[in-house]
Structure 1
Amino acid sequence: MPSNVPGPRVGQVQRVLKSSDGTEIFARATGRSDNPSLVFVHGLAFSGMVWDELFKDETLLRQFYLVSYDMRGHGRSGKPKREEDHASTLYADDFAAVVKAFNLKSPILIGWSLGGTVACDVCAHLPNTISGIVYVAGLPYIGPVMNTIATPKILGMLPGFFSTDDVVYSATTKIEFIDINFKDPNSVLVSVKWAWLGATVMQGPADSQLVLSRAQDPEKLHQAGLAGLPLLLINASADKLIQGDVVEKTVKPYFKDLEVHTVEGGSHVMFYEDQEEFVQVLMRFAKRVYRKKLPGSKL
């Protein structure tokens, strides 16, 4: 007889969710919903589309449910214009809306670059929600630490993101920003570069300022790390935006369960240009975390 219990969702699902303050959050998921889940968060000015190739990776899809969303102020999500609309608790609420919409159980949060800061929000306001953190050339939190973790190159480009009176300056900054993400931008498909550039155009100067200046307190993040929350750092030796060795020094005192992997010769987008190595490292960490967290899992 047919069961009345619905089976796992299979395939890709896209949704526009509402966060606690009514801000729309665009999210998507792909794979089997009964697999352990990985939530991917993109970097500054981009959107979840940067994960497109990973979300086709059969190795990942066989064992994990892949979820991504556009942070507020980015991509297809809402872009509220007040400082209070970018409070840490609201970023946590955005994550909670995604977890609830896709019925996720203790996901691992994977934050690329600026996306890494979401883990700080989650730890501060949603304790015991995630099973682990992966910083992919990640920024742990917003604040003065950015001046030591970010390279002088990207710090020097920020005025171009904030410019409201020089269209050419703004446009050329974003074109250069796309290029410095890659090892050799001339070898990247123009369709990919233009798609990623299009995502950055969706974020205006005011949005860039708001998402980079919001207040965060890392105390709860540090407490979670000292309590054993697993953290994986995936850095790249040729990253032109983030100094991975400085990230490691910043978080090492606070994370008892810390793994570090450096993609030799890798760029800021090593998940795209060195996908096979990235997937292997990510899966090894995720399997370990979930075997400990979910002893009965298939992993």
Structure 2
Amino acid sequence: MSAQVGRFVTSKDGTKIWADDAGNKEGIPVIFIHGLACTGHAWDKQFHNPALLENLYMVRYELRGHSRSDYPWGAEWYTQQKYAEDFMAVCEGFGLKKPFVCGWSLGAATVCDVAQIFGPDIIAGVIFAGGPVITHSHHSNFSHAELRSNFPSFLDPSGDKQPQAAHVFVDSCLKYPARDLPYETRLKWLGGYLMQPPSIRKWTFSRAQEWDKWEKEFASKTPHLLVQGREDKHSDTEKMLPIAQGVLPHMEIKIIEDIGHAPAYEAAEEHDAYLLDFVLRVSGKKA
């Protein structure tokens, strides 16, 4: 496995996007996309899982305005078109043809971007790894009250306030952060948040997103799997499920009890087993 050195691919507008790969290059391709104010480290457990490494060719990348990728300044750099082009640059850079996509939280919205801009045949299947922003419009109907309460602090430009906001954000991602997040890992998550200027966080989260073509040509036809923590504090699980089932009627749903917003971290063994089973079945490679 690569040691998270990674490399950069160049998007259509010249933005450098950091990405890294691992696993079997002859295996099923899966792209992993992290959430808002996070990094590729969100997928460290998956990139150390022997079963995934054996069966999948895994690529993770960091969204523009996050971590090691470029931070272009101005809302015009954070549009649906550009997010879709970043995804395609990663596919081209790593030679991926019709990959699966595993998106966490805000990262899941990239699926809509790609399908809307480049059509329904780019992605083989989708895994929503907890609290998915299915589309920006849909998320507004099931965002958790705690997230809405905390969000003004996440966008506050005051340097004095951001360290505390970072701790609140990281804690909100897990049900038991004191128990489940070792200090070294916590530093990585805090660092990812604090590297991002609040203005870019705002442009990333509040960007416009069209989804008519996604809904008509992709949402109901492409296989989807949702792995969701029951006690997610970013997306209200009970509100989200009927909305998600309305736009994704054939989506498989796996609810994991007693965890929060980050099933790929909090319940990695279960999450990874669901992911691998789904990818193998959809690919026709399930024994």
| Highest RCO, 1 vs 2 (Cα 8 Å, sep ≥ 6) | 2
Work out whether residues 235 and 244 of structure 1, in 8 Å CA contact, stay in contact via their aligned partners in 2: yes
Work out whether residues 236 and 244 of structure 1, in 8 Å CA contact, stay in contact via their aligned partners in 2: yes
Aligned amino acid, residue 264 of structure 1:
E
1:242 to 229, 235, 248: 235
Matched pairs, number:
283
Distance in 2 (CA, whole Å) between partners of 1:42 and 1:282 is: 16
Q: Alignment partner of 2:283: what SS?
A: helix
Q: Confirm or deny that 1:209 pairs with 2:202.
A: yes
Distance in 2 (CA, whole Å) between partners of 1:104 and 1:239 is: 32
Work out whether residues 36 and 105 of structure 1, in 8 Å CA contact, stay in contact via their aligned partners in 2: no
Q: Confirm or deny that 1:121 pairs with 2:113.
A: yes
Aligned amino acid, residue 268 of structure 2:
Q
Look at both structures and tell me which one has the larger radius of gyration over its CA atoms.
1
Distance in 2 (CA, whole Å) between partners of 1:220 and 1:147 is: 20
Runs of 4+ in 1 over 4 A off after TM superposition: 10-13
Change (3 A) 1:226 1:177: closer
Work out whether residues 133 and 230 of structure 1, in 8 Å CA contact, stay in contact via their aligned partners in 2: yes
For residue 252 of structure 2, what is the aligned residue in structure 1? Answer: 259
List per-residue Cα deviations over 1:100-132 (Å, max 9, x = no partner): 111112111111000010001010112211001
Distance in 2 (CA, whole Å) between partners of 1:298 and 1:102 is: 25
Q: Confirm or deny that 1:178 pairs with 2:134.
A: no
Given the two structures, how large is their TM-score scaled by the length of structure 1? 0.90
Shift in Å, 1:148: 2.5
Return 250-259 or 62-71, whichever deviates more: 250-259
Cα root mean square deviation, aligned:
1.7
Percent identity of the aligned residues? 30
Work out whether residues 245 and 251 of structure 2, in 8 Å CA contact, stay in contact via their aligned partners in 1: yes
List per-residue Cα deviations over 1:51-94 (Å, max 9, x = no partner): 11210100111100111000011111111122221121110000
For residue 273 of structure 1, what is the aligned residue in structure 2? Answer: 266
Shift in Å, 1:226: 5.3
Distance in 2 (CA, whole Å) between partners of 1:129 and 1:53 is: 26
Shift in Å, 1:248: 2.6
List per-residue Cα deviations over 1:119-175 (Å, max 9, x = no partner): 0101011221100111122111113x33322111111111112112x3332221111
Work out whether residues 266 and 274 of structure 1, in 8 Å CA contact, stay in contact via their aligned partners in 2: yes
For residue 58 of structure 2, what is the aligned residue in structure 1? Answer: 66
1:85 to 77, 94, 107: 77
Given the two structures, how large is their TM-score scaled by the length of structure 2? 0.93
For residue 16 of structure 2, what is the aligned residue in structure 1? Answer: 24
1:190 to 173, 178, 183: 183
Distance in 1 (CA, whole Å) between partners of 2:58 and 2:126 is: 15
Q: Confirm or deny that 1:109 pairs with 2:120.
A: no
Distance in 2 (CA, whole Å) between partners of 1:65 and 1:245 is: 33
Distance in 2 (CA, whole Å) between partners of 1:37 and 1:298 is: 15
Q: Alignment partner of 1:38: what SS?
A: strand
Any stretches of 5+ residues in structure 1 without a counterpart?
1-9, 292-296
For residue 222 of structure 1, what is the aligned residue in structure 2? Answer: 215
1:157 to 150, 153, 177: 150
Any stretches of 5+ residues in structure 2 without a counterpart?
none
Return 44-53 or 217-226, whichever deviates more: 217-226
Shift in Å, 1:29: 0.5
Matches within 5 A, 1:278-297: 278-291=271-284
For residue 130 of structure 1, what is the aligned residue in structure 2? Answer: 123
Distance in 1 (CA, whole Å) between partners of 2:31 and 2:140 is: 27
